[in-house]
């Protein structure tokens, strides 16, 4: 699946104020899961980088280092639209300039989506809380893309854009 790429619309979606969770596994195949505080996609639309708070994602960071496997789920609470991305070459990479600001913008955008649903601002912001000095970046090449929005197409593999 080396040619899997995201469409421009999919990039806009996963870089918007969505809820993001990442998962990996250890050598015994025991899963680890962590909240993600932001995402950025490279210009080639194949390299995806997520930002995590190391204090919340310690096991995930260890498991990615050991397995290179990662699945990341992006869900917009107001619509339940959900995409899942997978990669097999995940690794920790240096933070880029502006990553802390990116995480803060993502946190605000996520809160903006939750507020009309009746959630209080402190709760909405706390769900994507992070400490800038603890941010870590994990990058992977997109190998698989799935529709995961609840409904008849959930679990369907999405093909690359032509």
Q: How confident is the model at residue 3 (pLDDT cuts 50, 70, 90)?
A: low
Residues 39 and 54: their CA atoms lie apart, in Å, by: 15
pTM for the model: 0.92
Residues 139 and 26: their CA atoms lie apart, in Å, by: 18
Please name which of 160, 4, 139 lies closest in space to residue 72, comparing C-alpha atoms. 139
Q: Is the dihedral of CA 98, 124, 128, 67 positive or negative?
A: negative
Residues 39 and 128: their CA atoms lie apart, in Å, by: 12
Residue 141 tokens read as 């090449």
Residue 65 tokens read as 């280092």
How high is the pLDDT of residue 4?
85
- Mean of the per-residue pLDDT values of the chain: 93
Note whether residue 137 is domain-resident. Answer: yes
Note whether residue 161 is domain-resident. Answer: no
Residue 105 tokens read as 């913008």
Note whether residue 41 is domain-resident. Answer: yes
Note whether residue 68 is domain-resident. Answer: yes
Note whether residue 160 is domain-resident. Answer: no
- Number of domains, the chain: 1
How many residues are present in the chain?
Answer: 162
The whole domain housing 66 covers: 8-149
How high is the pLDDT of residue 1?
41
Note whether residue 36 is domain-resident. Answer: yes
Q: Which CATH number fits the domain that encloses residue 19? A: 2.30.110.10
Note whether residue 51 is domain-resident. Answer: yes
Residues 159 and 157: their CA atoms lie apart, in Å, by: 6
Note whether residue 156 is domain-resident. Answer: no
Each residue's pLDDT tens digit, 4-18: 899 999 999 999 989
Question: Residue 105, SS3?
Answer: helix
CB-based burial of residue 104 (10 Å sphere; 0-12 exposed, 13-18 middle, 19+ buried)? middle
């Amino acid at each position: 699946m080396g040619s899997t790429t995201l469409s421009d619309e999919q990039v806009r979606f996963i870089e918007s104020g969505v809820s993001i969770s990442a998962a990996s596994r250890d050598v015994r195949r025991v899963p680890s899961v962590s909240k993600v505080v932001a995402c950025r996609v490279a210009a080639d639309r194949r390299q995806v980088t997520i930002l995590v708070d190391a204090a919340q994602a310690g096991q995930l960071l260890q498991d990615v280092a050991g397995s290179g496997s990662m699945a990341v789920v992006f869900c917009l609470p107001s619509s339940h639209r959900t995409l899942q991305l997978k990669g097999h070459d995940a690794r920790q990479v240096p933070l880029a300039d502006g990553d802390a600001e990116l995480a803060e913008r993502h946190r605000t955008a996520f809160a903006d989506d939750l507020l009309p649903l009746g959630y209080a601002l402190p709760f909405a912001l706390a769900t994507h809380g992070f400490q800038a000095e603890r941010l870590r970046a994990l990058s992977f090449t997109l190998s698989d893309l799935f529709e995961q929005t609840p409904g008849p197409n959930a679990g369907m593999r999405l093909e690359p854009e032509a």
